[in-house]
Amino acid sequence: MAPSPTGDLHVGSARTALFNFLIARRSGGSFVLRIEDTDAERSDMEKEAGIYDGLRWLGLQWDEGPDVGGPYGPYRQSERHEIHHEAVAALMADGHAYRDYTTAEERAAEREGQRERGEPQRYSGLGRRLTNAQIDERKAAGVVPAVRYRSEPDAVTFDDLVLGSITVGPDDIDDFVIARGDGSALYNMAVVVDDHHMQISHVIRGKDHVSNTFRQVLLYEALDWAPPRFGHLPLVVNERRQKFSKRDGAQWLGDYRAQGYLPEVLCNFLIFLGWAPVDEREIFSLDELVQEFSLQRVNRADAVFDTQRLDHFNGVWIRGLDIDDLAARALPYAAADGLTIGPADHDYFAAALALEQERLSHLNKTAELMDFFFDQDLNPDMRQAKFTKHDPSETAQALVRVSELIAQAESYDDATLEQQMRELAGQLGWKAGDLFMPVRVAVTGRRATPPLFATMEVLGRDRCQVRIQRAVKNLAALTGGSI
């Protein structure tokens, strides 16, 4: 994996890592993390750390890698230059590669001529045809040559674990560059050398790498090495079946984490971007996926990134969590959004969260749903009660009776509160719902909340008393100061 410019893990890379992880675990193999950091401008330890953080958050622990070691290190490509150089030199010695002394201007002019003639724009092998005198002249002028693989006019075929047998014609692969002028290997050369020396058995990646794989197959053959098995996953597209882009929303794993998605949800969702189970099941843990996954059930068609399905999965997983587990996960989000929750409040937080669990869609919505539980200064706007059947004065008098009921109740629990409140509504000659709404607004400041009496039980007698007394004062203000 190449470090990303953002220092975060792209969701497409996360999906690829997940598929590789599952194959390794299901087959009893090793999941290998190699950092392909040959692009010095975009590679540093901070950006590399983003890969580690994202994979660990998903639960995809690797068996070999830069930070854990292993028998085939080093696991950073930037530390493997000598191994790459040896392979490049071997290809040149056998005539499979050559130094290309053509200039950037010559290659650009060649492409422009091809474009004007309506021909495919590809390198013609001009560097092969330079005479020794021309090469000497260019050396004297300071031209730094790249190293190119010498393609032959033959078809190239490989058997893909997902796509089946694939072939390109003899004119589809030109003399491609395998090393820069400074001698450093380019991607196709470096990964072939590293996969061989690390004894990689399977390489699973996106379908956009198929063209690279043909070139890599040629390099394996030229070096007389057996290639690994390749599998190319379908591309991820948006709901319009176009290439997934920034305007389609988040693309980085950290964005989804910040939005309150569970890591289990991302794994559960990403696996369906190209794979289908044998039955209609949708919800899978990582351990279950290890047992169920196979490349034989990976689709060839592009995979649609359906955000609504992702949200559905998140809701299902949140509702299925043990409340203590959910509270531990939700607490950092709630605190980050301003809820003051001390160590002594953790049990209270969990009890309140249990009431909101059915309505919580994303962990970053925790504070939005639960802030009224922690608002010590909540001062309810009683106009929300609407007063369709009973005016503010009557409502205030009813709330005074509710306050007296709360003070005198021997048992302050959900069932007792509901029973006594229904009895009070009958004594007042009110419908139960007409009493419950102003009580709800008084103790929560909202019209829509979890079940009223369970909420009152969690809030506690003292909080409810204080809030109802404030509500009575607010109603008095609506009536000119008298009740």
Q: Which pLDDT score, from 0 to 100, does residue 40 have?
A: 66
Domain boundary among 302, 320, 338: 320
Residue 358 lies in a domain: no
Q: How far is CA 57 from CA 14, 60, 206, 261, 454, in A?
A: 11, 8, 22, 11, 35
* pLDDT < 70: residue spans in the chain: 40-43, 245-247, 249, 481-483
Structural element, H or E, at residue 237: strand 236-237
Note whether residue 360 is domain-resident: no
Q: Is residue 137 part of a domain?
A: yes
Say if CB 399 and CB 472 are below 8 A apart.
yes
Does residue 33 sit within a domain?
yes
- Please check whether residues 439 and 464 belong to one and the same domain: yes
DSSP-assigned letters across all residues of 393-459: HHHHHHHHHHHHHHHH-S--SHHHHHHHHHHHHHHHT--HHHHHHHHHHHHHS-SS-S-HHHHHHHH
Q: Minimal CA–CA distance to 372: which of 301, 288, 280, 443?
A: 443
Q: What is the span of the domain harbouring residue 412?
A: 382-478
Which one of 299, 320, 341 terminates a domain? 320
Same domain, 42 and 90: no
Residue tagged active-site, from 243, 246, 431, 473: 246
Q: Would 356 be classed as within a structural domain?
A: no
Q: Is 243 a catalytic residue?
A: no
CATH number at residue 276: 3.40.50.620
Cα–Cα distances in angstroms (integers) from residue 195 to residues 20, 229, 294, 456, 470, in the given order? 14, 11, 22, 62, 71
Q: Which of 233, 256, 279 is a domain's end point?
A: 233
In this structure, the chain runs to a length of: 483
Q: Are residues 215 and 108 in the same domain?
A: yes
Are 452 and 419 found together in one domain?
yes
pLDDT attached to residue 244: 74
Strand partners, 157: 167
Q: Do residues 1 and 35 lie in contact, with contact meaning Cβ atoms separated by under 8 Å?
A: yes
Model pTM?
0.91
362: in domain: no
State the sign of the Cα–Cα–Cα–Cα dihedral 160, 162, 167, 173.
Answer: negative
Same domain, 19 and 106: no
Whether residue 288 is found in the same domain as residue 308: yes
Which pLDDT value is given to residue 482? Answer: 59
Examine the domain organization and report whether 182 and 299 are in the same domain: no
Q: Mutual orientation of helices 432-444 and 452-459 as an angle, nearest 10°?
A: 40
Q: How far apart are CA 56 and CA 48, in angstroms?
A: 13
Residue 51, domain member (yes or no): yes
Q: What pLDDT, on a 0 to 100 scale, did the predictor assign at position 105? A: 92
Q: What is the DSSP string of 341-368?
A: --GGGHHHHHHHHHHHTTT--SGGGHHH
Do 243 and 188 sit in the same domain of this protein?
no
- Let me know whether 63 and 86 are in one domain: no
Q: Are residues 208 and 109 in the same domain?
A: yes
Q: Which two tokens stand for residue 171?
A: 């004119």
Quote the number of domains for the chain: 3
Residue 445 counted as domain residue: yes
Whether residue 210 sits in one domain with residue 310? no
**Do 114 and 249 fall within a single domain?**
no
